[in-house]
Amino acid sequence: MTTGTSDPSAVVPATAVEPGPDAPRGALATWLSDGWTVTWRNLLKLRRNPEVLVFAVLQPIMFVVLFSQVYGGSIRIDGGNYTDYLMAGIFGQTVLFGSTFSGYLMAQDLKEGLIDRFRTLPMHSSAVLFGRTNADLVLNTVSMVIMIGAGAVVGWRFHDGPAAFVAGVALLLLFSYAFSWVMAFLGILVRTPEVINNAAFMVLFPLTFISNAFVQASNLPRPLEVFANWNPVSALVQAARELFGNTGSVPVADTFPMQHPVPTVVVGSLVLLAVFVPLAVARFRSASSR
């Protein structure tokens, strides 16, 4: 990726420098280099706008404190400790909400004309999307580390060993990365970043709160209980609880996602990537700055 050219007319369009099939190693190396350059650019942008990082970290800490210290004494979990039960829900909620940055910031780049500037550079068009989602994965990883520390402070512990703990964190990040591609696709479709911000929260709040993230689904009214037991957020949270050893003897609904949460989340994440990566890349090639 070349960024030092001052005359846009002098640079070679991306389509003119796409390596041919006879140079697969060169194509892969170029694509990796372009993706890393855009990822680094997005991380530098975060460093220069620390308020984004600060609020991304403060929000999950606020939820940990509110639910464990304010509401925790009023919420009873059958056969389990509420702090242990809660943390997987907080993890799931945070990575889900953190993924919305991909859509918001993609829409912001389109609005500011930055995407048109990228198109004048001799780089792979998909590198912009991979750079965006990779940077947001880093941001979600930082949030996870902060939440793990906050959870330890309020008494949360994992019980099934380091390997299962790492697997649980990896599963949450896999889902967050896959969902980032959904949001990146939506960010290309909408006309302003405010639209995707408001629309995303209108969808994500019901998905998160009508689930097993904070309360047992069996305590919800019957229609909401059925929804919660098939909700993908419930499967993500249940999978994390199982890998962290935080399930205790809490009853589990007799639905496939709740009985087999780990494979459900793995397969679901791979399906999201298989569908939305090519959709987002194709849409990006025809999108223009607004």
pLDDT per position as a tens digit, 15-70: 444 444 445 557 778 888 888 888 888 888 777 777 777 777 787 788 888 888 88
What mean pLDDT is predicted for residues 248-260?
Answer: 89
Query: What pLDDT shows up at residue 237?
Result: 95
- Rounded distance, CA 220 to CA 79, Å? 17
Query: What pLDDT shows up at residue 6?
Result: 40
- Asked whether residue 43 is domain-assigned, the answer is no
Q: Which residue type is seen at 29?
A: A
User: Both ends of the chain: CA-CA distance in Å?
Assistant: 24
- Asked whether residue 226 is domain-assigned, the answer is yes
- Asked whether residue 24 is domain-assigned, the answer is no
User: What percentage of the chain carries pLDDT values higher than 70?
Assistant: 90
Look at 21 and 209; give whichever has higher pLDDT: 209
pTM for this predicted structure: 0.84
Query: What pLDDT shows up at residue 289?
Result: 55
- Asked whether residue 259 is domain-assigned, the answer is yes
* Cβ 43 vs Cβ 135: under 8 Å: yes
- Asked whether residue 34 is domain-assigned, the answer is no
User: What percentage of the chain carries pLDDT values higher than 90?
Assistant: 31
- Asked whether residue 207 is domain-assigned, the answer is yes
CA dihedral 101, 103, 105, 110 (to 10 degrees): 180
Reported as a single tens digit per residue, the pLDDT across 85-131 is 989 999 998 888 888 888 888 888 888 887 777 777 777 878 889 98
Check pLDDT > 90 for residue 82.
no
If one counts the domains in the chain, the total is 1
What mean pLDDT is predicted for residues 249-268?
Answer: 92
- Rounded distance, CA 174 to CA 171, Å? 5
Tokens 């941001």, located at residue: 139
- Asked whether residue 174 is domain-assigned, the answer is yes
Look at 164 and 46; give whichever has higher pLDDT: 164
* Cβ 35 vs Cβ 130: under 8 Å: yes
Average pLDDT, the chain: 83
Structural domain boundaries enclosing 193: 48-289
- Asked whether residue 3 is domain-assigned, the answer is no
